[in-house]
Amino acid sequence: MEYVILIFYFFALTVLFLFGIHGLFLLYYYHKTQKFSLPKYELPKELPRVTIQLPIFNELYVVERLIRHVCKIRYPKDKLEIQVLDDSTDETQEVAKKLVEEYRAEGFDIHYIHRDNREGFKAGALKNGLDIAKGEYIAIFDADFVPAEDFLEKTLPYFQDPQVGMVQTRWGHLNEDYSFLTKALALSLDGHFVIEQQARNRAGFFINFNGTAGIWRKETIIDAGNWQPDTLTEDLDLSYRAQLKGWKFVFLNDVVSPAELPADINALKTQQFRWTKGAVETAKKILPLVLKSKLNWKVKLEAIVHLTSNIVFPFILVVALLNIPLVVIKNTFDTFDVYYNAMSVFVLASISSFLFYLYSQKAIHIDWRNRILLFPVFLAGSMGLAINNTKAVIEALIGKKSGFTRTPKYRIVSNKDDWRFKKYVQRKISPTVLFELLIAIYYIIGIGISIYYVEIAAIPFQLLFLLGFGTVGYMSIKHALLVSK
């Protein structure tokens, strides 16, 4: 039995090590391309017609903010079309209709498009709007975003290159300082945008449209096969299909589109579940096309890593479950010293991850030294989400379909704002919470075992597992129950 445990543990660590070390690969390209500068383009004298699509579903608290900020975007009214793609089933409908009527009276070409069903979910709504869109270019904003007035002025010029099919801007955070949860999530997203998106784009690898805060050439969407609803990440799916067709993408790190971060752990878990499951579904769909393509081997290899990165979560769970038995085996048998010596190299993966997020914070924040102190909280949180996201991976691998569950938004901006008693708060406690709390208890026992055997080196990682699973489990119950006055 001890051999089986060692093999599974060593294999799981190897997978996590390879994905962790990949961060150094991206950092290499990030530094290598630091002097890279995008071509300078100006807005054409004859401005093109642009359609801005706003897909919404039950967004009572943020729909007004969204529409009002979109209508502040600087662009001639006769060249701008706005589509409010509303699949809502609640009071959001009336709020959105009233706003559309208000701005139509002011001369805006704005339309309220409501569907009685959510066929295809967000992908279906976008495709439905695209069929009647007047614009040559299609900008998309989710309900929690607050687009800048100069968004089109800064993104449209890059379409002067006829090969450019999509321009993506970096997400900002309206409520980053609201709680430890939002601070840790901001750290995670900054790493994705500042390092991953920027390094991949500059180095010539594939990047993804992030579902919002970007603008497409309409021709690109149609040429790539349009929006398709067979995965939960329709944005990642279309991104790869378009780039496989030869379209170029541009990522603008210096153009920021602020958005609201989930302030509720259960909302975050819903978002992470959808992103994780959708990414694995997309990998199953797209990887055969990538492998059959004529792309060079470096681009193919990076695409494989990009599309499969979410498979780390089952292996995090394997490591969590086997770490404590391994401590017992190490102190019971004397024949496995070579394995334990070899495992010490896996610490490099943690160092790689730390450097990855360190450089992302250093690139965009003056107070990066303070912000990177949250790295242990982020790391523990990633561990704590392992059960939630492992379930998503398994469902995707076995082909189990599920609906598009959108992330609730509550217009949480300042520390005085309170989401707890608002609509959309998830009251149901998932069965996964029980397993999260059981693993937390498991690690209380495990730390005691490590202290007994004087395995001091094992304790820091065990504390992270305890903190991660315990906090996620506890907050999941707390945030669900707080809604009852």
Beta-carbon-side half-sphere exposure of residue 268 (alpha carbons within 13 Å): 25
Helix or strand (DSSP H, E) at 24: helix 2-32
CA–CA dist 483, 154 (Å, integer)? 42
Average pLDDT, integer, range 356-361: 97
In 57-136, DSSP assigns E strands to: 80-86, 109-114
Residue 339: the pLDDT is: 66
Angle at 190 between CA 186 and CA 196, to 5 degrees: 145
CA neighbor of 137 nearest in space, from 187, 60, 79: 79
Question: CA 307: distance to chain centroid?
Answer: 13
Is 484 a residue whose pLDDT tops 70? Answer: no
Residue 301: the pLDDT is: 97
Residue 340: the pLDDT is: 64
Q: What is the pLDDT of residues 298-342, one digit of tens each?
A: 999 999 999 999 999 999 999 999 999 999 988 888 776 666 666
Question: What percent of the chain is predicted at pLDDT more than 70?
Answer: 97
List of residues 6+ apart from 88 with CB closer than 8 A: 56, 57, 58, 59, 96, 114
Beta-carbon-side half-sphere exposure of residue 258 (alpha carbons within 13 Å): 15
Number of H-type helices and E-type strands within the chain = 19, 7
Helix axes 92-105, 63-70, angle to 10 degrees: 20
Whether the predicted model's global pTM rises above the 0.85 cut:
yes
Average pLDDT, integer, range 126-137: 98
Average pLDDT, integer, range 444-448: 97
Catalogue the active-site residues: 87, 235
Average pLDDT, the chain: 94
128 — pLDDT class (breaks 50, 70, 90)? very high
Both structure tokens of 319:
């490591």
Residue 252: the pLDDT is: 97
Residue 336: the pLDDT is: 64
CA neighbor of 368 nearest in space, from 190, 189, 178: 190
Angle at 345 between CA 342 and CA 349, to 5 degrees: 140
CA–CA dist 467, 472 (Å, integer)? 8
Whose tokens are 């699949």? That residue is 87
Residue 333 main-chain phi, psi, to 5 deg: -120, 145
Q: What is the pLDDT of residues 366-402, one digit of tens each?
A: 999 999 999 999 999 999 999 999 999 999 999 999 8
Q: Residue 247, SS3? A: coil
Residue 255 main-chain phi, psi, to 5 deg: -105, 115
CA quadruple 395, 398, 403, 404: dihedral, nearest 10:
60
229-267 in b/e form (b: 16+ CB < 10 A) is bebbbbbbbbbbbbbbeebbbbbbbebbbbbbbbbbbbb
List of residues 6+ apart from 245 with CB closer than 8 A: 220, 223, 224
Question: What percent of the chain is predicted at pLDDT more than 90?
Answer: 83
Q: What is the pLDDT of residues 7-34, one digit of tens each?
A: 899 899 999 999 999 999 999 999 999 8
Q: What is the pLDDT of residues 171-182, one digit of tens each?
A: 999 999 999 999
Is 185 a residue whose pLDDT tops 80? Answer: yes
